[in-house]
Amino acid sequence: MIVIGADPHKSTHTASAVDARSGELRSSETVSARAAGHAQLLAWGRSLGEQRVWAIEDCRHVSGNLERFLVARGERVVRVAPKLMAGARRSTRERGKSDAIDSLAVARAALREGLERLPSAHLDEQALEIKLLADHREDLVSQRSDDQRRLRWHLHDLWPELEIPAGALDRQRWLDKVSRRLARAERSARVRVARELVRAIRERTRRERELEREITLLVRAKAPRLLELPGCGPLTAAKLVSEAAGFERFSSDAKFARLAGAAPIPVSSGRTDRHRLDRGGNRQLNCALHRVAVTQGRVHPPAREFLARKQAEGRTRMDALRSLKRHLARTVWKTMTTPQTPNHQPPARTPVLT
pLDDT on residue 341: 60
354 found inside a domain: no
Mean pLDDT of 240-252: 85
218 plus 230 within the same structural domain: no
Q: What are phi and psi of 2, to 5 degrees?
A: -115, 150
206 plus 239 within the same structural domain: no
351 found inside a domain: no
Q: Which residues pair with 16 in a beta bridge?
A: 5, 28
48 found inside a domain: yes
109 found inside a domain: yes
239 plus 330 within the same structural domain: yes
CA dist 132 and 139 (Å) reads 11
Task: Identify the domain boundary among 193, 222, 251.
Answer: 222
Indicate whether 11 pLDDT > 50: yes
195 plus 253 within the same structural domain: no
138 plus 210 within the same structural domain: yes
3-state secondary structure the chain: CEEEEEEECCCEEEEEEEECCCCCEEEEEEEECCHHHHHHHHHHHHHHCCCEEEEEECCCHHHHHHHHHHHHCCCCEEEECHHHHHHHHHHCCCCCCCHHHHHHHHHHHHHHHCCCCCCECCCCHHHHHHHHHHHHHHHHHHHHHHHHHHHHHHHHHHCCCCCCCCCHHHCHHHHHHHHHHHHHCCCCHHHHHHHHHHHHHHHHHHHHHHHHHHHHHHHHHHCCCHHHCCCCCHHHHHHHHHHHCCHHHCCCHHHHHHHCCCCCEECCECCECCEECCCCCCHHHHHHHHHHHHHHHHHCHHHHHHHHHHHHCCCCHHHHHHHHHHHHHHHHHHHHHCCCCCCCCCCCCCCCCC
pLDDT digits 0-9 by tens, 263-311: 887 777 776 666 667 777 788 999 999 999 999 999 999 999 999 999 9
pLDDT digits 0-9 by tens, 72-88: 888 999 888 877 765 55
245 found inside a domain: yes
- Provide the residue type at 82 as one letter: P
216 plus 231 within the same structural domain: no
Mean pLDDT of 91-114: 79
Task: Identify the domain boundary among 77, 92, 113.
Answer: 113
175 found inside a domain: yes
118 found inside a domain: no
Number of domains in the chain: 3
102 plus 132 within the same structural domain: no
172 plus 241 within the same structural domain: no
Percent of the chain clearing pLDDT 90 (strictly above): 59
Indicate whether 181 pLDDT > 80: yes
- Residue 115's alpha-carbon distances to 53, 61, 99, 108, 197, in angstroms, are 8, 23, 22, 10, 51
161 plus 264 within the same structural domain: no
Rounded to the nearest integer, the mean pLDDT of the chain is 87
207 plus 236 within the same structural domain: no
pLDDT on residue 85: 66
Percent of the chain clearing pLDDT 70 (strictly above): 90
288 plus 231 within the same structural domain: yes
Structural domain including 317 reads 226-337
CA dist 342 and 159 (Å) reads 62
pLDDT on residue 347: 43
Contact 3, 107 (CB under 8 A): yes
Task: Identify the domain boundary among 79, 113, 147.
Answer: 113
349 found inside a domain: no
141 plus 231 within the same structural domain: no
Nearest to 2 by CA among 55, 38, 42, 59: 55
